[in-house]
Amino acid sequence: MAKLSQDDLLAQFEEMTLIELSEFVKAFEEKFDVTAAAPAAVVAAAPGAPGAAAPAEEEKDEFDVILTGAGDKKIQVIKVVRELTSLGLKEAKDLVDGAPKPVLEKVAKDAAEKAAESLKGAGASVEVK
């Protein structure tokens, strides 16, 4: 049998269905006593040097805006909370009175920053987590 080049093998794989390719991978793993998932795990573990896990945790895409205090301008803060959340007057007042409470949960970073700026502009103290 002639040796196939990498391009020839890829051309053969392109013609296979996913089921055929899956069966091939299983047969390959059995024949050579390997696991196809192992290289991916090794590659994922390789960057696991000390401190590598910390940046992954810092790259959040969902943030919570937490009202920690209403400040001196409580009415202004209630108005901003109503704008941000579409809550009614009573619900917004209860939220402000019950601080610390989350105003927005699981929002994008830019939305969280804008909300925090609006609340701070109204005189509230805010945390973004």
Q: Is residue 77 part of a domain?
A: yes
The residue segments making up the domain with residue 90 are 61-126
- 3-state SS assignment for residue 11: helix
Q: Is residue 33 part of a domain?
A: no
Note the pTM of the prediction, 2 decimals. 0.51
Question: 111, 46 in Cβ contact below 8 A?
Answer: no
Q: Is residue 85 part of a domain?
A: yes
- Could you tell me the CATH number of the domain that includes residue 70? 3.30.1390.10
Q: Is residue 25 part of a domain?
A: no
Q: Is residue 116 part of a domain?
A: yes
Residue 40 pLDDT: 45
Query: What parts of the chain have a pLDDT lower than 70?
Result: 1, 36-59
Q: Is the dihedral of CA 44, 58, 115, 126 positive or negative?
A: positive
Residue 59 pLDDT: 64
Tally the domains of the chain.
Answer: 1
What are the tens digits of pLDDT across the range 10-45? 888 888 888 888 888 888 888 888 876 544 444 444
Residue 37 pLDDT: 59
Q: Is residue 8 part of a domain?
A: no
CA dihedral 51, 56, 62, 66 (to 10 degrees): -10
